[in-house]
């Protein structure tokens, strides 16, 4: 669906069919003056190896364990896991207003490569493909024991990432967390009503409209979703029905590496900075009930930056107390991302 002129000019709300939540869009406000904080852009030159980094090959971690001299993607058990193999047993005191439940799980850290200075955007497609293969293997292994496997990356100090060595994380849990629980419900309902996956249909409609599409290849599409909350938020979806990372064919993985590299390069070029974000994969939950028919694999990218390498969007005030709000429209954000080169600014 292409938006009419009114949605580019007047305040309105947009609905997110995945979560059932609304976002307030205020395009008329994009010209308001900005007197907020201008943090200085700091882009320290990085070495390919850092003796003090707990993720570099051969180095000591906080736990006292030493990393092997790894030469490609390396996974280890998080030394400070948020989920562990044990929780309480039996019943805690329970009432409608005081509910708790046990949860067990596992947390792992994934070093994308031995190089301390190499983000996914600057890795070779075949190296990114290796990361994808590892994430798929991990998902299928942990999915045998856990209901939900959350693969994510927290990138940049702005997002609270503690170490610049490019890495992702995997948290697996016996319970279905809030966000996937909402998406599970919506995708299941949509499939029941329409006999088709919600995000498959959505991707097709976005391809036809074009105005929110950032890029596509034969297997993947990247969209600034109609209901995006973060200024340059994107949604990455396979163009055919796929439920989980391990279900991707070799060809789809190669094309994923291609589109990831191109997307992340555009992100870096937008404000000429190593673009911070939180991103993560959502695939069909595991367990007894088969969720694969209605669930379409996808990744969300949530970058905090608004108008420069230092000016970010704050989710405060109205967002915390009422609902998310944005000024620039998703259509404007998509067009800005489309205007970026796919050659990385650091290599020009
Ligand atoms: P960030 O991606 O948010 O920076 O977190 C890095 C993770 O690495 C964090 O979950 C783990 C932390 O617990 N970590 C280790 O497992 N071992 C260490 O020696 C330090 C950090
Ligand atoms: Zn390192």
* Full DSSP string of 57-80: TTPBPTTS-B-----S-EEEE-SS
The Å distance, Cα 46 to ligand 2 centre, comes to 10
As a whole number, mean pLDDT of residues 161-184 equals 96
Of 89-93, 192-196, 286-290, the poorest mean pLDDT is in: 89-93
Altogether, the residues listed in the chain come to a count of 348
Measured from CB, residues less than 6 Å from any atom of ligand 1 are: 54, 61-63, 78-80, 109, 154, 161-163, 167, 169
Mention every residue, 6+ apart, whose C-beta is less than 8 A from residue 331: 3, 8, 211, 212, 224
Nearest CA to ligand 1 atom 3: 161
Q: Does residue 93 carry a pLDDT above 90? A: no
The Å distance, Cα 54 to ligand 2 centre, comes to 6
Q: Which ligand is nearest to the CA of 70?
A: 2
Residues of the chain with pLDDT > 70: what percent?
A: 97
Q: Does residue 187 carry a pLDDT above 60? A: yes
The Å distance, Cα 56 to ligand 1 centre, comes to 12
H-assigned helices in the chain: 125-143, 178-194, 198-209, 250-270, 318-321, 330-338
Q: Does residue 284 carry a pLDDT above 80? A: yes
- Ligand 1 atom closest to the Cα of residue 161 is 4
127: pLDDT confidence band, cut at 50, 70 and 90?
A: very high
Nearest CA to ligand 1 atom 20: 62
Catalytic residue positions, numbered? 167
The Å distance, Cα 105 to ligand 2 centre, comes to 26
Q: Which ligand is nearest to the CA of 57?
A: 2
Reading the block at residue 213, the tokens are 């599409």
The Å distance, Cα 112 to ligand 1 centre, comes to 14
The Å distance, Cα 306 to ligand 1 centre, comes to 27
Q: Does residue 60 carry a pLDDT above 70? A: yes
Per-residue confidence (pLDDT) for residue 38, from 0 to 100:
54
Place of tokens 């029941």: 192
50, 52, 65, 109: which to mutate for ligand 1, most atoms within 8 A of CB? 109
Q: Which ligand is nearest to the CA of 162?
A: 1
Per-residue confidence (pLDDT) for residue 41, from 0 to 100:
60
CA dist., res. 145 & res. 161, Å (int): 28
Q: Does residue 268 carry a pLDDT above 60? A: yes
As a whole number, mean pLDDT of residues 214-237 equals 98
Environment class of 310 (CB within 10 Å of its CB; exposed 0-12, middle 13-18, buried 19+): middle
Q: How many CA atoms lie within 13 A of 82 on its CB side?
A: 8
Nearest CA to ligand 1 atom 1: 161
Backbone angles phi, psi at 27, to 5 degrees: -65, -25
- Name which of 228, 327, 331, 317 is nearest 29 in CA terms: 327
Nearest CA to ligand 1 atom 11: 78
- Ligand 1 atom closest to the Cα of residue 78 is 16
192: pLDDT confidence band, cut at 50, 70 and 90?
A: very high
């Amino acid at each position: 669906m292409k938006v009419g002129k009114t949605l580019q000019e007047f305040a309105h709300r947009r609905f997110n069919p995945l979560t059932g939540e609304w976002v307030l869009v205020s395009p008329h406000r994009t010209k308001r003056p900005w007197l907020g904080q201008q943090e200085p852009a700091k882009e320290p030159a990085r070495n390919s190896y850092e003796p003090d980094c707990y993720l570099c090959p051969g180095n000591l971690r906080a736990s006292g364990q030493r990393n092997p001299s790894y030469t490609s993607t390396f996974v280890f058990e998080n030394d400070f896991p948020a989920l562990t193999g044990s929780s309480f047993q039996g019943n805690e005191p329970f009432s409608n207003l005081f509910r708790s439940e046990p949860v067990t799980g596992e947390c792992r850290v994934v070093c994308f490569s031995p190089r301390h200075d190499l983000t996914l955007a600057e890795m070779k497609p075949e190296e990114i493909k290796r990361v994808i293969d590892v994430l798929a293997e991990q998902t299928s292994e942990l999915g045998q024991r856990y209901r939900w496997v959350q693969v994510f990356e927290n990138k940049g100090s702005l997002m609270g990432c503690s170490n610049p060595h490019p890495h992702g994380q995997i948290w697996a849990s016996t319970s279905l967390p809030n966000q996937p629980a909402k998406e599970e419900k919506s995708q299941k309902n949509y499939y029941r009503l329409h006999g088709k996956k919600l995000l498959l249909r959505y991707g097709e409609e976005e391809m036809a409209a074009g105005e929110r599409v950032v890029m596509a290849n034969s297997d993947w599409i990247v969209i600034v979703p109609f209901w995006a909350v973060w200024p340059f938020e994107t949604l990455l979806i396979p163009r055919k029905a796929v439920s989980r990372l391990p279900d991707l064919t070799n060809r789809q993985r190669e094309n994923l590496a291609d589109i990831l590299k191109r997307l992340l390069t555009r992100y870096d070029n937008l404000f000429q900075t190593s673009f911070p974000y939180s991103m993560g994969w959502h695939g069909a939950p595991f367990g007894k009930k088969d969720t694969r028919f209605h669930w379409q694999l996808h990744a969300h990218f949530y970058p905090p930056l608004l108008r420069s390498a230092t000016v970010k969007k704050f989710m405060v005030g109205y967002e915390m107390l009422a609902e998310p709000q944005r000024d620039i429209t998703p259509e404007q954000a998509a067009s800005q991302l489309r205007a970026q080169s796919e050659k990385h600014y650091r290599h020009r």
